[in-house]
Amino acid sequence: MAVLEKIRRRGGMIIFFIGLGLLLFILPTDWVPKMNNVTYVVKINGKKLSPQQFDRKIEEITRQYRQGTRQSSLDERTTDMLREQAWQQLLSEEITGQEYQKIGLTVSPEELFDMVQGPNPSPTIRQIPAFANPQTGEFDRSALINFLKNKNSNPDAAQEWSMLEEAMLQDRYAQKYHTLISKGIFIPSFVAANENTEINKKVDFDYLIRQYASVADSTIKITANDLKKYYRENKRQWEQTPSRDIEYVVFGIAPSEEDRAAADKWIEKIKPEFEQAENAQQFVNLNSHVPFDGKFYTKEQLPVQTAELFDAGEGTMTGPYQEGEALKLARLVKIDNRPDSIKVRQIVVVPRQQTQAAAQQVVALADSIKTAIDNGADFTTLALKYSADPSVSANNGDIGWVYESGMAAGSIAEQWFDLKKGETLKQETSQGIYIIQVTERGKEVKKVQIATLQYNITPSPRTEQILYTQASKFAMENRTEERFNETAAAQNLNKRVASYLGENDRQIPGLSSARQIVRWAYEADKGDVSDVFTLSDAYVIAILKEIRKEGIAPLQQVVNEVNTAVRKQKKAEQIIAVLAEEAKNASSFGDLALKLGLPVETASAVTFSSFSVPGVGIEPQLIAAATSLDEGNISQPVEGSNGVFLLTVKQISGEAADSTALEEAKSRLSSVSANRVMSESMQALHKAATIKDMRSRFY
């Protein structure tokens, strides 16, 4: 009865929660608040930017890179570099954009129009190759106008133009901001005079140094209070960004003896088939891990393992032989007398627009140029008129001597060596259409073409499974730091260290595609041992050794550095006391050196702006003391980086500045200050901005 009474009294609340649950169940999932899901990649001063905005910036930067380098595929390192470049640009544009808006900086539509079609177009426009005259390489306004008229018919062109407009706007905003800052800079006469003195005043001085190393560490007593006091007074030295330290062991994925035996069996089985194949090139391309190399080689250029084929007959084979982790068979395909070098000239034609019609037009143009040359037309005249190669005005299309031995396998230049003197060839590539003519052929020598069938010795699935089982066993049985270290040492696993990993790092030296390990390090607790990470060439198990949070590092985390600094400070105090006492009664600098048993060193023509002092290196405190000391006086002890100094200035030289020199110094300082202040203002904006980086949640 008591239970029923409680149900009756709380029935309304129960019905409410049941109803709420049903309501949430039937509502669209995107209506339900995402309590734990982050929907932005970065928040800058409260403004959120989405992953899609970042992706568009990455795409933009990548497209620009590909256009500039003409690379269609990018490796992982380049991709990471471009991603970071896109990130920095995204931050910079948003932070400066917020500042421009705050101070009321604008660029009107009329200004933008003038930057494009005015009498003095933006440098951003002028440097685009598509807007240049093919013959002169100079900016061609008609090419720009033609592009603008037709850009809307081509989505790619429209997108490129949108990017150009954005770049021009950013440049104009930056110019205006720079002008505003520059107008606020004033160089007083005394500052110019000091600048002139710092440059022209030179001092010659003698010095002696007592090194910190001369004081034994055992004589220095450091207490916990000493450490706390130094840490408290110098906290800013220990400012840090978030980072992690890990240690890890690697189970390398390498071929087993069973895999090597299987490779031997495969190569022996295919050997007679390769020997009997009618088309060696086709057989290699169908069966080898490396495609056919069509180049011809002299005997000296052949690998040692295939050199014997040079004097054999066509069809002769050698092998199998091993190079690294590969087994190879080599077959002599062809013997020919060929030059190692040829002199070549070229005409390059490219479409003015990225359209099908423009592509057809350029093919027709290339055909007509080749036909004209074959019929006796002057190559130089046609090159100067039609070639899009920027260097054509300087070399008339002549690209000089090309060497067969230096060509990469599969290069379009391989076909050039089959051409006779004066013969032309048309080649279509992704960069444009080339009309090639050989003008000279080097001395012909005997060369051979070798077909090499390569079988890479790789770990089998069975081998990978065995290695994975070993790695999993290690991960399961060693879940504490003590066990991790003991077992790694017992199994000679050569434990490795990776320190100061940033939250968005993607690489760890020695490992491929380490992003998953970095992500784990930021989700784990100190001392945690990971599960097995599967990389392309290894299985990895890591342990999280250190967690550094943003802000001031706690004393226990930097105690070694603080201890070193305190020890140096206490040594300096001891040395300063001794040097100061001896300096009181010294009759001369030489007498002082004799009493202290220290050699006198000399430095000449040192200015306030000098970078270092000969004999001791970078010692800014010594330079400052020397350039401010009067002639003949002995300084107070100067605490430096390597030890404590005493010095005396022997001679001061340098002309006093006249009015002309002062005005030149003012002008120079104004220019330098404007550039420095502009750079520092950007750094200040970034430092003042509140940035919440959430990239690690998405990438």
Residue 11 pLDDT: 44
* Distances 169 to 31, 65, 369, 443, 685 between C-alpha atoms, Å: 38, 20, 41, 57, 19
The two beta strands, 243-252 and 496-501, are antiparallel
> How far apart are alpha carbons 508 and 529 in whole angstroms?
18
Q: Which structure tokens are listed for 446?
A: 């005997």
Chain-centroid distance, C-alpha 438: 40
> How far apart are alpha carbons 557 and 96 in whole angstroms?
36
> How far apart are alpha carbons 442 and 338 in whole angstroms?
8
Percent composition of the chain: helix, strand, coil (DSSP 3-state, to 5)? 50, 20, 30
Residue 657 pLDDT: 58
Closest CA to 696 of 42, 34, 49: 42
Q: Is residue 602 within 8 Å of 204, Cβ to Cβ?
A: yes
Residue 413 pLDDT: 78
Longest dimension (CA), the chain: 114
Q: Which structure tokens are listed for 203?
A: 């001092």
**Which run of H or E residues covers position 42?**
strand 42-44
For 259, residues 6+ apart whose C-beta sits below 8 A from its C-beta are: 457, 458, 459, 460, 463
Class of domain 202-239+556-653: alpha beta
- Does the fold of domain 341-442 match that of domain 242-254+460-549? yes
Provide the whole-model pTM.
0.65
Domain ranges of the chain: 1-32, 202-239+556-653, 242-254+460-549, 257-338, 341-442
Residue 34 pLDDT: 36
Residue 167 pLDDT: 85
Q: Which structure tokens are listed for 225?
A: 């209070």
Residue 659 pLDDT: 66
Alpha-carbon radius of gyration of the chain: 37
> How far apart are alpha carbons 462 and 71 in whole angstroms?
37
Mean pLDDT by 10 residues, the chain (699 residues): 38 42 40 56 92 90 79 81 90 91 89 85 80 71 81 77 85 86 77 73 92 92 94 90 94 95 96 94 94 88 91 92 94 89 87 72 85 88 83 79 72 80 85 86 88 96 96 95 95 93 90 90 95 94 94 91 94 94 87 92 89 89 92 92 94 72 74 75 87 86
Phi/psi at 446 (nearest 5 deg)?
A: -70, 135
Closest CA to 147 of 108, 117, 115: 117
Sheet holding 424-429, edge to edge: 398-403, 341-349, 432-441, 424-429
3-state secondary structure 244-261: EEEEEEEEECCCCHHHHH
State the fold for domain 242-254+460-549: Chitinase A; domain 3 (3.10.50)
Residue 354 pLDDT: 63
Q: Which amino acid is at 300?
A: E
Closest CA to 166 of 48, 61, 79: 61
Phi/psi at 108 (nearest 5 deg)?
A: -80, 160
State the fold for domain 341-442: Chitinase A; domain 3 (3.10.50)
> How far apart are alpha carbons 622 and 612 in whole angstroms?
9
